[in-house]
Amino acid sequence: MRVLGIETSCDETGVAVYDSEQGLLGHAVYSQIELHAQYGGVVPELASRDHIRKLIPLIKTVLNESHTQATEINGVAYTAGPGLIGALLVGAAVGKSLAWAWQVPAVGIHHMEGHLLAAMLEQPAPTFPFLALLVSGGHTQLVEVAALGQYTVLGESVDDAAGEAFDKTAKILGLGYPGGPALARLAEQGYADKFNFPRPMTQRPGLDFSFSGLKTCVLTTWQAQTDPTEQTRADIARAFEEAVIDTLAIKCRRALQQTGLKSLVVAGGVGANQRLRQRLLQLTKEIGVAVYYPRPLFCTDNGAMIAYAGALHLAAGHQESLAFSALPRWPLNQLSIT
C-alpha cells in the first residue's frame, strides 16, 4: 500500500509518500519560521495562507522525487487535529479532494498519534506495547501505547508544556524565535552548578507535569541580576534545561516502573534535545529498558509520520467519507477507531 501523507497542523507544511513494502519513498517539509519570526510567534491566518501557497507544489515535488504517479497512490492521510483550525482545514480539504480525484480512501490522523508512531520509521523500530514520552511544543504526555489506536494517557502537563516553557523562558532571556532551539544552544555554554531550579511535581505521586512555576522561577532569577552578563544568561538557560530534563527523566522512570513496560519511545520537538536524549539513554540503561527516537527531522512536525500512521490505519480498514472537517482540540484519549 502506498500512501500520501499531509501535515498542516501549525507552521510546517509536510508531505511524504510511504510504501508499506518499500518504506519511506520521499518526504519534504517547508518551515514557516522566517514568516512568523518578525511577530515572535505563529500568526494563525498567515500560517493558513502559507499552507495554501506551498502545499500543492510540495505534493508535486514529493511525488516526483519518490517516482510515484498519482495512479500508484492507494490512500491519502492528512492531519485532522489537534492544531490551528485554518491550517488543519487546508490539509483536510486538499487531502480529501485528492482522494476523491484519485478514487482512493482517505483517513484523518491525530497529530499526536503521528508523533507516537514516528519512531517506527527507524531501524531498529519499537514494537507494541511501549511507553511514549511526547514532548512537543504544546504537549507533554506520558502515554501507554498498547496497539494501533489503543492509547492510555498516564500523565500530562497541567499548565505549560515543556516546549512552551522552553519558548517562554527563551523570551524572558531575550532570545530569538523559535525560542526552544535557541535556548538549548545557549545552555551549551552554561555551567550546571551556578543556579539550581526546582524539579516541579516530582516530590508528589503521579505522572502529571507542570512547568509554569519553573518558568516563573527563571523570570524572578533573571530580574534579580543587577548586572547580568552573557555567561549569566547561559548559566540560567543551562539550569532551566537541566530542571526540565531531570523532571522528564524522573517521571519516565516512575511510569516505566508502574507499567512494567520494557520500551520507551521519545517523540516530539523537544525529543530532539541532545541532553535529554543522553539523560534518558543513561536512565534506560540503568533499569534495563530499550529507548527509541525518531531521527531529529521527524521529531518536529512532518508528513512522514502522517503517511506512516495513515498506512497502518488504511491497512486495518479504517477510512472515512469524503466530507472533511478538522478538530482543533482533540484529546488523545478521545481518539475513536472505526
- Say if 122 falls within a structural domain: no
Closest by Cα among 275, 267, 277 to 297: 267
- Say if 216 falls within a structural domain: yes
- Say if 230 falls within a structural domain: yes
Length of the chain as a residue count = 338
Sign of CA dihedral 100, 102, 103, 104: negative
Q: Are residues 270 and 309 in the same domain?
A: no
Q: Are residues 150 and 274 in the same domain?
A: yes
- Say if 184 falls within a structural domain: yes
Task: Give the helix/strand (H/E) hosting 135.
Answer: strand 130-135
Q: What pLDDT score was predicted for residue 201?
A: 94
- What is the CATH number for 309? 3.30.420.40
Q: Are residues 82 and 159 in the same domain?
A: no
* Mean pLDDT on 207-224: 95
Q: Is 67 a known ligand-binding residue?
A: no
Crossing angle (nearest 10°) for helices 230-259 and 274-287: 30
Q: Are residues 171 and 221 in the same domain?
A: yes
Q: What pLDDT score was predicted for residue 333?
A: 81
Q: Are residues 135 and 235 in the same domain?
A: yes
The yes-or-no verdict on residue 71 having pLDDT over 80 is yes
Q: Is 176 a known ligand-binding residue?
A: no
- Written as one string, the DSSP assignment of 157-214 is BSSS-HHHHHHHHHHHTT--SSHHHHHHHHHTTS-TTS-----TT-SSSSS-B--HHH
The x, y and z cell numbers of residue 205, run together, are 505521586
Alpha-carbon gap, residue 187 to 60, rounded angstroms: 40
Q: Is 180 a known ligand-binding residue?
A: yes
pTM: 0.95
Q: Is the peptide bond before 82 cis (omega within 30 degrees of 0)?
A: yes
* 337: confidence class by pLDDT, cuts 50, 70, 90: low
Q: Is 62 a known ligand-binding residue?
A: no
Q: Is 136 a known ligand-binding residue?
A: yes
The yes-or-no verdict on residue 338 having pLDDT over 60 is no
Q: Are residues 273 and 145 in the same domain?
A: yes
Q: Are residues 282 and 304 in the same domain?
A: no
The x, y and z cell numbers of residue 255, run together, are 511510569
Question: Are residues 209 and 162 in contact, defined by beta-carbon separation less than 8 angstroms?
Answer: yes
Q: Are residues 315 and 188 in the same domain?
A: no
Q: Is 48 a known ligand-binding residue?
A: no
- Strand partners for 147: 150
- Say if 135 falls within a structural domain: yes
Host domain of residue 171: 128-293
Q: Are residues 151 and 277 in the same domain?
A: yes
- Say if 75 falls within a structural domain: yes
* Mean pLDDT on 254-281: 96
Residue 325 is given by DSSP the state: -
pLDDT digits (tens, 9 = 90+) for 53-70: 999 999 999 999 999 999
- Strand partners for 133: 142, 266
DSSP, collapsed to helix, strand or coil, labels residue 67 as coil
Q: Are residues 21 and 47 in the same domain?
A: yes
Q: Is 137 a known ligand-binding residue?
A: yes
Counting the structural domains of the chain, the total is 2
Q: Are residues 169 and 31 in the same domain?
A: no
Buried (b) or exposed (e) across 57-84, using 16+ Cβ within 10 A?
ebbeebbeebebeeeebbbbbbbbbbbb
Q: Is 135 a known ligand-binding residue?
A: yes
Q: Are residues 247 and 272 in the same domain?
A: yes
